[in-house]
Amino acid sequence: MSKNLVIVESPAKAKTIEKFLGKDYKVMSSYGHIRDLKKRNISIDMQNLEPEYEVPTEKRKMVDDLKEQAEKAESVWLASDEDREGEAISWHLCEVLGLDEDKTNRIVFHEITKNAILEAIAHPRRLDMNLVNAQQARRVLDRLVGFKLSPVLWKKVKPSLSAGRVQSVAVRLIVEREREIEAFAHERYYRLNAVFKANDNGKEVEMKAELDTRFKMRAEAQDFLLRHEYADHTVENLVKKPLTRMPAPPFTTSTLQQEAARKLGLTVSQTMALAQRLYENGFITYMRTDSVNLSNFCKSACQETIKKLYGEKYSSQRDYKTHSKGAQEAHEAIRPTDMANQSIVATAQEKRLYELIWKRTLASQMANAEVEKTTITIKTSASSHLFTVSGETVTFDGFLKVYRESTDDDEVKGKDKSKTLPNLQIGDELLCKEMTSTERTAQPPARYSEASLVHKLEELGIGRPSTYAPTISTIQQRQYVQKGEKKADERSYIVETVKNGKLSYKTKHELVAGDKGKLLPTDVGIVVNDYLVENFPVILDYNFTANVEQEFDSIASGKAKWTAIISDFYKEFEPMVDAAITTHTVHKAGERVLGTDPASGKPVSVKIGRFGPVAQIGSADDEEKPRFAHIPSEKNLSTITLEETLDLFRLPRIIGEYEGQEVTIGTGRFGPYVLYDKKFTSLPKEFDPLTITLEEAMKVIEDKRKQEEQKHIKIFDGEDKIEILNGRYGPYIVYGGKNYRMPKNLHEKAAELTYEECMKIVNSAKKK
């Protein structure tokens, strides 16, 4: 039996540490928090500010195991992370396992190396109750905000909605960005470029320069072109400036999510799932971290690798400091556990993510890149305007040999960056080959992607590495925001050219503002946000988290009592909730009356209904029931017109008869459908339910019939009925109401399978 029990948060960490400590130590894991506020109800006694904690059922067995081992051990070492949450985990462990707080050892380390662990064991301390209380304040505040605001939404907007300190601000960012884009003035301007011929060491080369001024009017630009083509153009100035580029710091959770999105096209949660696998297999350090710090062990491994691969002069050991608000730095940065592994044996995606981490880590310890930037200024005899052209040449690549950080608008910028300019002298005469004016439109700010939203939240100090991915999922699950399908608009623009004294123009086309995969607010999201911002401005303030974090800090440093902070907050918060609940507005949040229905003379209105945005003719207190129609997601609750709304009531409609049966067109939960012979078929996107003809509808039905016929490959009827069906992913087996995957190599021969062969597949799947 082991004399010592060490408890850490993560099982993967426990395994590693046990190796370092030898047989006198048993290392177990708490799997994060072991106790939380009771799931239902607020579970905070507001009189005495007493939280009601419980061990959730799914953790009982694990906690019992811990308790058993703790009772057997001579001493227990609490080694949860060194931050607010970690300290609280240790305290809950004391409480639940019945440990004496004054005698139990609390140890911390920031890197998982033998030295760091032994050092920690040599310097145990006691629990820091101030830090624990700061966590209790955080937990209680979040529960109060979440469990008081959500029910207000159930009443005023729609059941099952949610609000919280983090998610509601995330939604606000997206709603406000969309408004900025709507309100953006797409101002036109004209950009002027000239193509000059120059003599580069006896060779004639061309060089494109841009004018230092942009014109608002096309006529101004035309006038400029005509007056300047034949002017004298001379190199006025030529400046060479050395620039230094520095590598980006090692990955944190947030920067990993952003780079993996830009470079590998992964969603935030895909990145985290892959990183988790890499961590569990021992390839990388912990993936939920806000620290940019690397252990000395890693830094010297980097030096060794860099010297071996690229030579001494590429190496430059450095330390990074975090700039993000509220960082707690309980772990290292995300890095490979062994820099000698340039690549690993794993799935293709895991490999790509690993290599990204390896490169970023290595680059962070490499020399700066040296760049020479040349700017040439060209004057003209026809006016005082100047043309400029600049180019960059890399004189020493340094870390760029390994890694270059990408930016959100990489496709747009960056193509001209590394161009080399001709060798010119001040005073050189240049000949103008042609001059163009290109029509441009000012670009609105970009919509948020998952990753850029994480970046913004981190900047505001809202949310933690462990919650970025879940928060992004929550606001999509609640249908406050949606991944956009806004197609790129095609826009035409004019390029006007003067050549040999003659003006000519071409109309060109480009695709703009294609926002596939970007986050767009839904009607529900907009209504909920506007309601919360109006009624709970304090909570929705972008600085709310930063402000309360300061209070938590004062609790952690012993300068304030957590119960006093929370009761002060509640004194301000409770009246806001009461006011919102008791204000009896006749309308629900976001409701709009659009006008009168000409047919019935009744009012037409739109609102968020129980199942989403809905249009209504008539009111609830009429004798007759009001009529309802679902508003499709392409229409906005805030902008839909009376005419568009009345159109929604033209469904369902009977469009004719086919083989003696009625054909009905309607729209339901899953969009427009055609109903025939008691069967529903979804209408493909190209059809408008209001204009579809009987012939078109019948073709849709016939297509569905054909598909149905192909669906059944084989049926073994009888007591143990087995079906082989054709699905989206190829053939599969249905048996006893369950689906079973068919091995790929059998797909071709699916129709020839025997009953016994099918049972074999079913049984082998069951064993697993």
Partner DNA sequence: CAGTGAGCGAGCTTCCGCTTGACTT
The secondary structure element, H or E, covering residue 60 is: helix 57-72
**Which residues make Cβ contacts (< 8 Å) with residue 225, sequence separation at least 6?**
192, 435, 436, 437, 496, 497, 498, 503
Identify whether the C-beta of residue 89 lies closer than 8 Å to the C-beta of residue 33: yes
Helix H or strand E segment including 451: helix 450-459
Interface segment toward DNA; rule CB under 7 A; list 386-394, 470-478, 577-585, 693-701: 470-478
Site string for DNA, 683-712 (x = CB under 7 A): ------------------------------
> Between 143 and 233, whose beta carbon lies closer to DNA?
143
Coil/strand/helix, residue 410 = coil
Q: Describe the crossing of helices 129-156 and 523-535 by its angle, rounded to 10 degrees.
A: 120
Beta carbon nearer to DNA, 235 or 469: 469
Choice from 652, 687, 696, 713 touching DNA (CB under 7 A): 652
CB of 673 to DNA, least distance (A): 4
Closer to DNA at the Cβ: 40 or 123?
Answer: 40
Q: Which position among 25, 190, 286, 531 bears the catalytic label?
A: 286
Q: Residue 342 or 474: which CB sits closer to DNA?
A: 474
Assign 91 to helix, strand or coil.
Answer: helix
Q: According to CB under 7 A, which one of 164, 398, 525, 590 is a site residue for DNA? A: 164
Binding mask 124-163 for DNA (x = CB under 7 A): --------------xx--xx-xxx--xx--x----xxxxx
CB of 384 to DNA, least distance (A): 56
Q: How many CB atoms lie within 10 A of CB 226?
A: 15
The residue within the footprint of DNA, chosen from 46, 611, 754, 763 (CB under 7 A), is 611
CB of 682 to DNA, least distance (A): 4
Number of residues that bind DNA (CB under 7 A): 84
Under DSSP, is residue 498 helix (H, G, I), strand (E, B) or coil? strand
Looking at residue 683, the DSSP 8-state letter turns out to be P
x/- string (CB under 7 A) for DNA, residues 262-291?
Answer: --------------x--xx-----x-x---
Question: From residue 105 to residue 124, what is the string marking binding to DNA with x (rule CB under 7 A)?
Answer: --------------------
Q: How far is the CB of 518 from DNA (least distance, A)?
A: 22
Residue-wise burial string across 341-369, b where 16 or more C-beta atoms lie within 10 A, e elsewhere? eeebebeebbbbbbbbbbbbbbbbbbbbb
Q: Walk across the sheet containing 612-617 and list its strands.
A: 592-596, 603-609, 612-617, 627-630
Query: Binders of DNA among 726-765, rule CB under 7 A?
Result: 727-730, 732, 738-741
Question: Nearer Cβ to DNA, position 280 or 553?
Answer: 280
Binding map of DNA across residues 31-70, x = CB under 7 A, - = no contact:
xxx--xx-xxx-----------------------------
Find the part of the chain contacting DNA (CB under 7 A) among 27-35, 112-120, 232-240, 564-572. Answer: 27-35
CB 435 to DNA: min, Å = 55
User: Of the two residues 444 and 609, which places its CB atom closer to DNA in the complex?
Assistant: 609
Handedness of CA 483, 486, 488, 491 (dihedral sign): negative
Site residues for DNA, window 306-335 (CB under 7 A)? 328
DSSP state of 581: H
**Closest to DNA by CB, 583 or 670:** 670
Of 671, 673, 748, 751, give the one whose Cα is nearest residue 711: 751
Query: Which residue among 666, 723, 746, 759 contacts DNA (CB under 7 A)?
Result: 666
Nearest to 22 by CA among 6, 37, 40, 39: 6
Q: Which of 318, 307, 361, 317 is nearest to 336 (CA)?
A: 361
- CA triple 448-452-458, angle to 5 deg: 125
Q: Is residue 471 classed as helix, strand or coil in its secondary structure?
A: helix
Q: Which two tokens stand for residue 470?
A: 């879940």
Q: Which of 5, 6, 10, 257 binds DNA (CB under 7 A)?
A: 10
The enclosing H or E element of 562 equals helix 562-582
| Cβ–Cβ < 8 Å for 278, 343 | no
Side by side, which strands form the sheet with 105-106?
Answer: 25-29, 4-8, 75-78, 105-106
CA-based nearest residue to 234, from 391, 377, 375 = 377
CB of 135 to DNA, least distance (A): 8
- Between 124 and 470, name the residue whose CB sits nearer to DNA: 470
Interacting stretch for DNA, rule CB under 7 A, among 77-85, 106-114, 354-362, 423-431? Answer: 77-85
Q: What is the largest CA-CA distance in the chain?
A: 97
Kindly identify the residues of this chain, within the stretch 491-520, that bind DNA according to CB under 7 A: none
CB of 715 to DNA, least distance (A): 17
CB of 674 to DNA, least distance (A): 9
Q: Is 286 a catalytic residue?
A: yes
Ranges within 525-564 binding DNA (CB under 7 A): none
Q: Is the CB of 495 or the CB of 576 nearer to DNA?
A: 576
> What's the 3-state SS for 124-142?
CECCCHHHHHHHHHHHHHH
By CB under 7 A, the residues from 623 to 642 that bind DNA are 625-626, 628-630
Work out which of 671, 694, 701, 723 binds DNA, going by CB under 7 A.
671
Give residues 708-727 in contact with DNA (rule: CB under 7 A): 727
Strand, helix or coil for residue 193:
strand
Site for DNA in 369-408 (CB under 7 A): none
184 binds DNA (CB under 7 A): no
CA dist 255 and 261 (Å) reads 10
Smaller CB separation from DNA, 398 or 613? 613
3-class DSSP state for residue 478?
Answer: coil
Structure tokens at 84: 């607010």
Q: How far is the CB of 464 from DNA (least distance, A)?
A: 3
Which residues are tagged catalytic?
A: 286
